[in-house]
Amino acid sequence: MATIGEHLTAAVDRLRASGSESARLDAELLLAHALGVERTTVLAHPEAAVGPEAAARLLDHLARRAAGEPVAYIRGIKEFHGVAFAVDGRALIPRPETEVLVGLALGAIGDRLARAPRPPGTPPLAVADVGTGSGAIAVALAVVLRRRGMLGEVEIVASDASDEAADLARENAVAQGVGDRVAVATADLLPPAGRPAGLLVVPARFDVVCANLPYIPSSVVPELPVAASFEPQAALDGGPDGLGVIRRLLAVLPERVAGAGVALLEIGDDQGPAIRAAVAERLPGWEVRVEPDLAGRPRVAVLGAPLDPVALPAPAG
């Protein structure tokens, strides 16, 4: 029987030949998955023999990866913000750059919880995650807030237009033990106020709104790496300029965001000027700034609602 080291060398060569830009990492992860061990075990024991069943699983994994399927889908798992999420073709794979949005949301939540005493009976802070996909943002927020002892003061409503994605988000919320504080609803953008969602009821207004909606221009979607073709295209395509869905969300924010609330919207790294213009047009009186991701690229538009936001009619067109 061939050893781990021999299988790893052959796997790297095959993936490199197929065009993988991360052939070594991909091979290590797929071999570990085939063996049912951690990647560190693969690295620490190159001399260990690989049995025929594991070798057959590895060949299957390599064939799928060589065809372009993302490693996360093959393994069925992706780590995001320190949490292991189940992932499959029902939703986008969580991206590292979205962790910046989670960090900003945690800061906004913590700031609001600390502003004034919260005696018994104080309504929980209402947080929305629009376009939740796998539930990565909502569940990561809940896990961190639980670790900080704050989750009892917060309710999170996660929504997605896709029934399949909503099901996956529920599975991840339950798997992480936060299903009682993260309600998942199928809805176009924000679900209606008063609608039951899991163990919660959708509030009329939210203190913090998070959204990772499609923002890639339609013309660019076919040019994305082949791995993206395995993901739901509706979760990528943001219309002609990439901001079609985001503009629809902007139109409903005045009536769904609490006074002095905040909306955090992930955007493309070239969309800063366009989102500022859209906010100026559709949300007069709101503040807007754009925060960079860890690579220094513009990534999250931070929209601050006035103290008393008023629902405004959406501009024509």
Query: What pLDDT digit, counting tens, does each position of 152-194 carry?
Result: 999 999 999 999 999 999 999 999 999 999 999 999 999 999 9
Q: What is the pLDDT of residue 116?
A: 84
> Rounded mean pLDDT of the chain?
95
Q: What is the pLDDT of residue 317?
A: 47
* Cα of 68 vs its chain's centroid, Å: 21
Task: Say yes or no to pLDDT of 261 above 60.
Answer: yes
Question: b/e per residue, 71-87, with b = 16+ CB within 10 A?
Answer: bbbbeeebebbebebbb
> What's the token pair of residue 130?
């629009």
Contact 242, 266 (CB under 8 A): no
Does the predicted model carry a pTM greater than 0.95? no
Task: Say yes or no to pLDDT of 312 above 70.
Answer: no
Contact 18, 66 (CB under 8 A): yes
Task: Say yes or no to pLDDT of 119 above 70.
Answer: yes
Instruction: Convert the pLDDT of each residue in 27-43 to its tens digit.
Output: 999 999 999 999 999 99
Contact 42, 31 (CB under 8 A): yes
Task: Say yes or no to pLDDT of 73 above 90.
Answer: yes
Q: What is the pLDDT of residue 139?
A: 98
Maximum C-alpha span of the chain: 70
Q: What is the pLDDT of residue 1?
A: 87
Q: How would residue 100 be classed by pLDDT, with cut points 50, 70 and 90?
A: very high
Q: Which CATH class is domain 4-67?
A: mainly alpha
Q: How would residue 50 be classed by pLDDT, with cut points 50, 70 and 90?
A: very high
Q: What is the pLDDT of residue 313?
A: 52
Q: What is the pLDDT of residue 228?
A: 95
- Report the distance separating Cα 56 and Cα 60, nearest Å: 6
Q: How would residue 308 be classed by pLDDT, with cut points 50, 70 and 90?
A: confident
- Residue 241 carries which side chain, given as an amino acid letter? D
Length of the chain: 317
Listed by start position, the domains of the chain span 4-67, 80-304
Task: Say yes or no to pLDDT of 251 above 90.
Answer: yes
User: Which CATH superfamily includes the segment(s) 80-304?
Assistant: Vaccinia Virus protein VP39 (3.40.50.150)
- Report the distance separating Cα 185 and Cα 207, nearest Å: 18
Contact 173, 85 (CB under 8 A): no
Q: What is the pLDDT of residue 306?
A: 94
- 71 versus 117: which is more confidently predicted? 71
